Structure 1
């Protein structure tokens, strides 16, 4: 039976959980919430990269991504521009993007990722 590894764990959640060769990330948001959708997307994806590296994976190994936007009609195109620059060619995961009421009104985007590792 595969063991379960947890990283950056609190009483409420773990930022990263690994089971076998699958890496599950909690929602990643920007470090600074005063930026626009471009800045917040860039920062949140940098956090995804950091967490994947901690787990022994990287953005070329994405399996699925859920993207939550505070304002889908307004921010979808700008977020996608950041996403497409960030994502390696040929590594697009299965993906869904939805509009959501965020836990903090200043959060514009959140990325939830599942990835593989060797």
Structure 2
């Protein structure tokens, strides 16, 4: 029996590839990696710099989470992809804790990659658990 639930969040960012914004399976929700695009103006230039792009990505993740009734408090795991790992890793680490309650950071993997869609500096995907 297929207990998967596929979600496309109407307020969510325009997909840059064929995917669902989120898929529920066995009490977990898998959120597709989000880019630093503006859902209200998807063709606008990307924000400048790793901090601004990370904030936009997290805003987009919150839109998708909200569309399935969740918040960042439900996140169990994050995977972060950086195109300029050595340059941007420290700045990302300084900013990352500001998105979560103190002492409640999700598990995380950060990977350096050669390129991301739309020329982004950062992409983040999440695993969340429904309470």
- Normalising by the smaller structure, the TM-score range is 0.7 to 0.9
Cα distance per residue 1:27-84 (max 9 Å; x no partner): 1111152411010000000111111111121111111111100011100111122211
CA distance in 1, matches of 2:57, 2:122: 8
**Which residues of structure 2 form unaligned runs of 5+?**
10-14, 38-44
User: TM-score scaled by structure 2?
Assistant: 0.80
Give the length in aligned residue pairs: 118
The Cα RMSD (Å) is 2.1
Closer, same or farther: CA 105–55 of 1 in aligned 2, 3 Å: closer
User: TM-score scaled by structure 1?
Assistant: 0.88
Alpha-carbon shift at residue 109 of structure 1 (Å) = 0.4
Q: Which structure's residues are more often strand, by fraction?
A: 1
Q: What is the SS of the residue equivalent to 2:97?
A: helix
Runs of 4+ more than 6 Å apart? none
